[in-house]
């Protein structure tokens, strides 16, 4: 399977980086082709501006947007790795979605409303949080993590087989607990590619 990994964390020593390394290694060991798009390293321009909107409507997309769309077309599976900051992804990832998931590429409007155009087999979303799972469950905050990306972005654009996993308290867990999380990342990655 061809898998595009979209990664959004500015610290190369973060636990997100360890997750990225585990996902990429697991896929490559299984004979799958990967491309990693590290949005911070790429210095991806994440602000959708007025000129972008005009160009989108004309079908004259900027080079960086077309390059990202080509990578998505290449992929059969998508992986998103990012921390949750204020109940959402880092701004650079939100901006990537705004600029790359354009009309006529990721979705279209038809007689029955919005229709997703992406045909990927599966997607995997891996998030990290500083907070604890019990609080997120009690306050129903966990719903704010899953639904916007899994349903509101990917589902609306046609990708319905989405695996989501949030890893809580990553700033305060033990090394053994982090290793257990990385072992789970490996299992989730293998589930993505059906092994």
Q: What's the pLDDT tens digit per position in 6-15?
A: 999 999 999 9
* Residue 68: how many other CB atoms lie within 10 Å: 23
Q: What is the mean pLDDT of the chain?
A: 95
pLDDT at 108: 95
Question: With 0-12 CB in 10 A as exposed, 13-18 as middle and 19+ as buried, what is 65?
Answer: buried
Q: Look at residue 195 and tell me whether its pLDDT is greater than 80.
A: no
pLDDT in tens, 90-131: 999 999 999 999 999 999 999 989 999 999 989 999 999 999
Express each pLDDT in 53-96 by its tens digit: 999 989 899 999 999 999 999 999 999 999 999 999 999 999 99
pTM over 0.75: yes
| Whole-angstrom distance, CA of residue 146 vs CA of residue 107 | 20
CATH number of the domain to which 9 belongs: 3.40.50.360
Residue 135, domain extent: 2-192
Count of domains forming the chain: 1
């Amino acid at each position: 399977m061809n898998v595009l990994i979209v990664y959004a964390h500015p610290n190369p020593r973060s636990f997100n980086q360890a997750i990225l390394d585990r996902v990429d290694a697991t896929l490559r060991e299984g004979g799958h082709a990967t491309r990693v798009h590290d949005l911070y390293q790429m210095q991806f321009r994440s602000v959708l501006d007025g000129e972008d909107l005009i160009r989108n409507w004309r079908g004259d997309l900027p080079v960086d947007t077309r390059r990202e769309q080509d990578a998505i077309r290449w992929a059969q599976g998508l992986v998103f790795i990012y921390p949750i900051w204020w109940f959402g992804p880092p701004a650079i990832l939100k901006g990537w979605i705004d600029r790359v998931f354009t009309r006529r590429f990721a979705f279209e409007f038809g007689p029955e409303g919005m229709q997703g155009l992406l045909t990927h087999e599966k997607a995997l979303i891996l998030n990290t949080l500083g907070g604890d799972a019990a609080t997120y469950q009690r306050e129903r905050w966990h719903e704010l993590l899953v639904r916007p990306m899994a349903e509101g972005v990917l589902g609306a654009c046609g990708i319905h087989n989405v695996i989501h996993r949030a890893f809580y308290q990553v700033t305060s867990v033990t090394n053994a607990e982090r290793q257990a999380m990385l072992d789970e990342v490996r299992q989730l990655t293998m589930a993505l590619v059906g092994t």
